[in-house]
Structure 1
Amino acid sequence: MTNRLHMQVWPAGVPESVEWPAGTVYDNLAKTVADHGDRPALIYHGATLSYAQMDAQVQALAGFMQHELGVAKGDRVLLYMQNSPQFVLGYYAILRADAVVVPVNPMNRHAELEHLAQDTGATVALAGQELLPFIAPVVEQGLISHVIAATYADYAAPDRDIPLPGELDTMDAKDATGPGVIRWADALERATPPRPHRATRDDLAVIPYSSGTTGQPKGCMHNHFTVNVTAWGGVAWNPSDETDVSLAVLPLFHVTGMQACMNGPVIAGGAIVLMTRWNRDVAATLIARHRVTRWRSISTMAIDMVNSPNADSYDLSSLTAIGGGGAAMPQAIARKLHDLTGLDYVEGYGLSETMAASHINPVTGPRRQCLGIPVFDVDSRVVHPDSLQELPQGEVGEIVTHGPQVFLGYWQRPEETAKSFFEMDGKPFFRTGDLGYIDPQGYFYMVDRVKRMINASGFKVWPAEVEALMHHHPDIAEVCIIGTRDPRRGETVKAVVVPQEKARAHLTADDIIGWCRAEMAAYKCPTVVEFTDALPKSGSGKVLWRELAEREAQKAGAA
C-alpha cells in the first residue's frame, strides 16, 4: 500500500502531481529562449550572457562536436570542469548534439579519469584549462581523442573587481595546448549549425557516477525524462520564475547543483550567478550586488557563512529561499541563518540514482536535520534490510523508493542493477542503503547507513573505491579504509596499511598520501595512515573493517 502519511503536511498550493514534460532537457532551454531570450542567463565576474546568446553558443558547440569530432546520438562525452559559464554551455551543447553528459568531479585525477573513459567509451571531453595536465595522460593512452579546453577567464569581464580564484584569474587560452586539445573559442568560431535535435525523452541524457561498496564507481543511467522530473519538480515545489536570481556555488557536476542551480533556473528563465569556488565574502558580495533570491548550499558552506566575523555586515535581504542537503544542518547554524536571513533552511534528500531530490521538507513546515517528505509521485517506505518486509511507522529500517526520477540502472552493470531493486506491491523499489524511520506526520529521518561510507565535509567517500585505487600502489600489500573523527571535516579518511615486505623499512605515511593525491580526488585521500603487520580477517578471509572502525571510535572516545 502506498505510503501517504505525508499528505497531511503537503504544502498548501503545491499540486499533488505534476504533468511531466514530453520533451528533452535541451527543449527547456529552447523554450526559455523563445519566451525570455533577452533576459540574463549567466552572470560571471562582471560579464553577462543572455539566454539568446547562451543558446547561440550551445548550437555552435553542438555543431562542432557533431561535424568536426564525429559525436553521434547516444555517444558519451566527459564534462570535466569547475563551475563556469562553459560548464553550462557544454552541458546543454552535449544534449543538443543528442549525446550523453558524463559529469566529472573536477577533483578527479588520473586513475579516476582513466576508469571513466574506459567505462563509458567516451572519446571526447570538455575540460577546464587548469585540468588539462590530469586528462593529458588519458589522451596519451589513446582513450580520449579530443579535449575542448575552456579558459574560464575568457567569460569574465576584463575590468572585473572580483578576481577568479587563484591561478584561474591569469590563465591565457593560448597556453591551452597538448595532444588532442582544441581551444574553446576555436570550436565556437567554426559556427557549424548542428543537425536537427533528434533525442527524445526516453534517450539517455546524463550518467552521473556513484561510488559504493564494490570498488570502482558506477554510472547511473538517466534519460531526459528522469532528469526533467527532478528539475521541473524542484521548480514546482518551491515556485520560481524569470525574475529569480540563483547563486550557483554548489558543484554543477553533482546532481543537486546540476538540478537546483542550473536546470531549474533554466526552466524558470531566471539568472544564474556562477561561483567557481566557495568563498563566503565573495558569496555575500554577489548576493547583495545581484539581488540573489535563491541560494542552494551544503551545510558546510552555511556554517562557514554564519561563522564569518563579517556576518553581521552581509546584506542578504534579497534572499527568498535557502536550503540544500549533503549533510544534516546543525540546529545552532540553522538558527543563526534564520537570524541573518529571516528564512528557514529547507533540507532535502536524494542520490545520484534519483537525480537529486526524492524527498524535500515542505516549504511551509520544514523540520531541521530531517530528510523531508516524498515529493511528487514518489512512494517511499521503510523496510527490514534483510527480509525487505515493510516496517510500521516509527521503526528503523532501510529507506526504499519508487518514483518517476529513479534511474534506469547502472551503466553496463546488470547484476548490480538487479541487486539494487526489489518488487513490492507490483512496483520496483530502489534500495537506498540508508537506514531511517518515518514519524507520525510522514517526515523521513536518517539514522545510519546500511552501506559503508565516510562523510567528510558533506563529500561521500566510499572506502571500497579508495581501497581499489590504493591497491595500485606498488608498496602496499593490503589496505583497509575507515573513517576517523576530524575537528574540521567531522569525519576524515584513515588508511590502515600492510606494506609489502620489501617496502617496510622505507614506506612512510607521507609517501602514501602524496601518491594518493596524484591518483584521486583530494577529499578521498587518506589524511591519516596507520601501518600494521596484518589486517583482522574473518574465517572466510574477508577483512573485518568494522572491527577496525570500532577500535578507532573507541580511541577517539578515550581521547
Structure 2
Amino acid sequence: MNVAHHSSWPNRMPKKLDYPQTPLHDLLATSARRFPDKPGVIYYGQVITYAQLWDQAQRLAGALAAMGLQKGDRVALYMQNCPHYLIGCFGVYAAGGVVAPLNPMLVERELYNIVGDSGARFIITTTELYGRVAPIAADLGVERVICGSLWDYMPENPAIPAPDFMAATPRAIDGAAAWLETLASAPGAPQVDIDIKADLAMLPYTAGSTGLPKGCMHTHATVMSNVWSAMYWTQLSSGANVLSCLPFFHVTGFVHSLAAPLAAGATLVMLTRWDREAALQAVEKYGVTHFVNITAMMADILSAKDIESRDLASLQMVGGGGAPLPVALGQRLKDLTGLDYVEGYGMTETISQTHFNPCDKVKLGSIGIPDFGVDARVIDIETLRELPAGQQGELVIHGPEIMLGYWNKPVETKEAFIELGGKRFLRTGDICRMDEEGYFFITDRLKRMINAAGFKVWPAEIEAVLYKHPHVLEACVISAPDAKRQETVKALIVAKPGCQPDPEEIMAWSRKEMSAYKAPRIVEIVAALPKSGAGKILWRQVQEQEMAKR
C-alpha cells in the first residue's frame, strides 16, 4: 500500500477506522435513539425531528412490505431534494430493498432506460415529476408508484426563499398512492436479515463512453464505509448544521448532504434546488457550519454583490469537488471566512470520495490524499506498472467503498478492474500524478467525458440523440469553456444536404430529448468534420482545436 500520504495526514485523525457492522438504516435509527427531539431536518423553516424521521421511515418500510416488496427488490427514487427522499432511502433500506436513485432532470427516454435496466418494482416520486413517471411505469410493468408533494413538508410561509416553481406544484395527483396516506395507514416495519457485505443497498447509475447507463452495485458495507469516512474527515458532529444543497440522487450529495450528517446526528438545512440567496439566508439564519458543494455553487456564492456584508462566521468547513476551484476563488473564500476550500475526489463506482485534502493542510488544485483504507496508485497505461511520484499515469483505487461491479454487465465489470499485488483495483480513467507528500493531481482524462457544473456528460450519448434530428447528418460533441459551469457542452453539426439547421432550434429540440445539463449550450454548424482513414470522426482533434481557442 502506498503510504506517502501518511506524512500529510490530518492532525489528531486516526489512520484507520472501524466501520459499523450494521445495515444503513441503523444510522438513522441510532441518531433517533440518541437525539429523538433534535431537529434532523429544517426544510424552509419546517422542523422534522429525528424521532419523526425514523418513525416515517419505518412506516414506509411497512407499507412497501405490505405492497409485496421482497429483500433485494429495487425501488427507484425520482425526486428533487426533499424530506421524502431521506425517508424514502431509509425506509427502503429497512424493508430490505435496494435504492435506485434517479436524476430528477432525466426525461422519459432516459428514465425508461434506467428503470428498465434496474428492474425496479416500485417508484417513489413527487407530483411535479409524476407526468414523466406515469407512462414509463405502465410500459415497464412497475407495480406501484408512491407520489408525494413538496407541500407535504413545505410550510405555507417559508422561512427562506422557496423555489419559484412551488406555486405551480400540485398538492395531490390521481393514479398513484399518496405519500402521507401511505404512511398513515402503514403496518409495522418488517424484520429483515441483511448481510451487509453481500446484500445490495444502492444501485446508482453512471453513463459510460458508449453513453449506455450502468448501475453500480453497492452493498450496505461499501456505502457505510464511505459515509463513516466522510463524517470523520469533515469533522461532523451532533452540533453541526449542514447546508444540504447537493442533489441527493448524486453520490456526493447522498453522502455529504444526507447520510454523513444523519450518522453524526447533525441538522440538515435542506434546499430542494440550488438558490444562492436561499443558501446565504440559510447560513445566516441557521448558523450553518458545514457546506459541501460543487465548484459552480461556490463561484455563485462568491459572486454575490453583497457577499462581504453577509454573515458567514458560523462556517467551519467548506469544500467539494466536481472540478478544480480556481485559485482566485479559493483566495476569495479564504479572505472572507479564513477557511480553505477542501477539495476531494470520488466516483459513482466508489459511492463518493476516495481522496480528500486534509482540512488543516490544503493544497488548492489537488484532489488531496487517499482517505481511510484507500490504496491509490498511479500506473502506466500500457504496462500497468506502478509509477513513482511526479510521473503521470492512470489513477487506480482499492478500498472498502469500491462497488462490487456493474449491474448485469459482466464484461464492463471485468474491464473496470485490474489486479495488482493480489488486490483488486478500480481503473478510474483519470490521468493524474502524485507529489512527494502523497497529494494527487488530476491532469487529464483517459475517457471521453465532459464535466459540466459537476455533472458527468458523455458525448456519445448526446451524439446518438442528435442523429435523430431530421437536419443532422453528422455530429461531434466536445467540451467548451464556461465561466460558470467550468465546462459546457458544444455540438458541431454537419447538415444533411438541402437542410439549413438553426442552432437555436437544435438546442431547444435537445432540451426536450435529454436532461438539461446534457443538452448542448453551443451549436456550431460546420461544412465537415475531420475523419480517420476508416471514416471515424476524430473527436480528439476537434477538442484540441477548441482548446487552442482558449
TM-score (norm 1): 0.94
State how far apart, in whole Å, the 2-side matches of 1:377 and 1:428 are. Answer: 14
Are 1:508 and 2:523 an aligned pair? no
Determine whether 1:21 maps to 2:9. Answer: no
Matched letter for residue 120 of structure 2: A
Deviation readout 1:452-478 (Å, 9 max, x if unpaired): 111222222111222233344455444
Secondary structure of 1:480's counterpart equals: strand
Structure 1 residue 551 and structure 2 residue 545: aligned?
Answer: yes
Q: Deviations over 1:213-237 (max 9, x none)?
A: 1221211110000000110011122
Deviations along 1:21-71, one digit per CA (max 9) or x if unpaired, are 111111111111111112111110111111111111111112112212x22
1:443 aligns with 2:439: yes
Amino acid at match of 2:174: T
What amino acid is aligned across from residue 184 of structure 1 in structure 2?
A: W
Which residue of structure 1 aligns with residue 512 of structure 2? 518
Partner SS, residue 455 of structure 1: strand
Q: 1:296 aligns with which of 284, 292, 297?
A: 292
Contact 1:400 1:430 in 2 (8 A): yes
Question: Aligned in 2, Cα 1:140/1:509: closer, same or farther, shift over 3 Å?
Answer: farther
Q: Corresponding residue for 2:185?
A: 190
Write the deviation string for residues 182-239 of structure 1: whole angstroms up to 9, x where unpaired: 2211211212212113223121011111112122121111000000011001112232
- Spell out the pairing of 1:113-192 with structure 2 (5 A cutoff): 113-174=111-172, 176-178=173-175, 181-192=176-187
Could you tell me whether the CA contact under 8 Å between 2:95 and 2:189 is conserved in 1?
Answer: yes
CA distance in structure 2 between the partners assigned to 1:230 and 1:266 by the alignment: 13
Provide the secondary structure at the position in 2 that maps to 1:225: helix
Structure 2 partner of 1:90: 88
- Tell me which amino acid in the other structure corresponds to 1:344: D
State which of 475, 478, 483 in structure 1 corresponds to 2:479. Answer: 483
Task: Supply the distance in 2 between the matched residues of 1:272 and 1:524 (Cα, whole angstroms).
Answer: 29
Deviation for aligned residue 1:485: 2.7
Alpha-carbon distance in 1 for matches of 2:26, 2:167: 33
Match of 1:527 among 521, 527, 549: 521
Structure 1 residues 229 and 114: CA distance shift in structure 2, 3 A = same
Residues 163-197 of structure 1 show CA distances to partners (whole Å, capped at 9, x for unaligned) of 420122452323x224xx22211211212212113
Q: In the alignment, is the contact (CA less than 8 A) between 2:323 and 2:486 conserved in 1?
A: no
Among residues 279, 282, 287, which one is paired with 2:283 in the alignment? Answer: 287
1:329 matched to which residue of 2?
325
1:253 aligns with 2:249: yes
State the SS of the aligned residue for 2:110: helix
- Matched residue, 1:102: 100
From the superposition, tell whether residues 163 and 442 of structure 1 become closer, same or farther in structure 2 (CA, over 3 Å).
closer
CA distance in 2, matches of 1:394, 1:53: 52
Secondary structure of 2:160 counterpart: coil
The one of 536, 540, 546 aligned to 1:542: 536
Shift in alpha-carbon separation, 1:436–1:142, aligned structure 2, 3 A: closer
Q: 1:223 is aligned with what amino acid?
A: T
Q: Are the counterparts in 2 of residues 118 and 143 from structure 1 also a CA contact under 8 Å? A: no
Per the alignment, residue 418 of structure 2 pairs with: 422
Question: Aligned partners of 1:338 and 1:476: how far apart in 2?
Answer: 48
Change in Cα spacing, 1:163 to 1:147, as seen in structure 2 (3 Å) is: farther
SS of 1:113's partner is: helix
Pairwise CA distance, 1:507 = 4.1
Q: 1:13 to 1:211 in 2, by over 3 A?
A: same
What are the residue-to-residue correspondences of 1:320-469 with 2, within 5 Å? 320-469=316-465
Task: Give the 3-state SS of the residue equivalent to 1:15 in structure 2.
Answer: coil
Q: Aligned to 1:13, what secondary structure does the other structure show?
A: coil
**Judging changes above 3 Å, is the alpha-carbon distance between structure 1 residues 121 and 313 closer, same or farther for their aligned structure 2 residues?**
same
Mapped partners of 1:352, 1:447: distance in 2: 20
1:268-304 CA distance string (max 9 Å, x none): 1111010111122211111111111111111111111
> Does 2:239 correspond to 1:243?
yes
| SS of residue in 2 equivalent to 1:232 | helix
> Residues 100 and 207 of structure 1 are in contact (CA less than 8 Å); yes or no, is this contact kept in structure 2?
yes
**TM-aligned CA deviation for residue 532 of structure 1:** 4.5
Superimposed CA distance per residue, residues 388-412 of structure 1 (whole angstroms, 9 cap, x where no aligned partner): 1111110011111111111111111
Is 1:312 the counterpart of 2:320 in the alignment?
no
The DSSP-based 3-state class of the residue aligned with 2:517 is helix
Q: 2: CA distance between counterparts of 1:150 and 1:472?
A: 35
Is the contact made by 2:471 and 2:499 (CA closer than 8 Å) also made in structure 1?
A: no
Aligned-partner residue type, residue 49 of structure 2:
S
Residue pair 1:153, 1:164 contacting (<8 A) in 2 also: no
AA of the residue aligned to 2:132? F
Give the aligned residue type for 1:435: I
Query: Following the alignment from structure 2 to structure 1, what is the Cα–Cα distance between the partners of residues 53 and 436?
Result: 47
SS of the residue corresponding to residue 488 of structure 1 reads coil
User: In structure 1, how many angstroms separate the alpha carbons of the residues matched to 2:411 and 2:86?
Assistant: 34
Worse-matched range after superposition: 536-545 or 35-44 = 536-545
In structure 1, stretches of 5+ residues that fail to align are none
Q: Show the counterpart of 1:59.
A: 58
Instruction: After superposing the two structures, state which structure 1 stretch, 265-274 or 462-471, moved more.
Output: 462-471
- Gap change, CA 1:270 and 1:125, over 3 Å in 2: same
Structure 2 CA distance, aligned partners of 1:234 and 1:432?
Answer: 20
Q: 1:112 aligns with which of 107, 110, 113?
A: 110
Percent of counterpart pairs with the same letter? 41
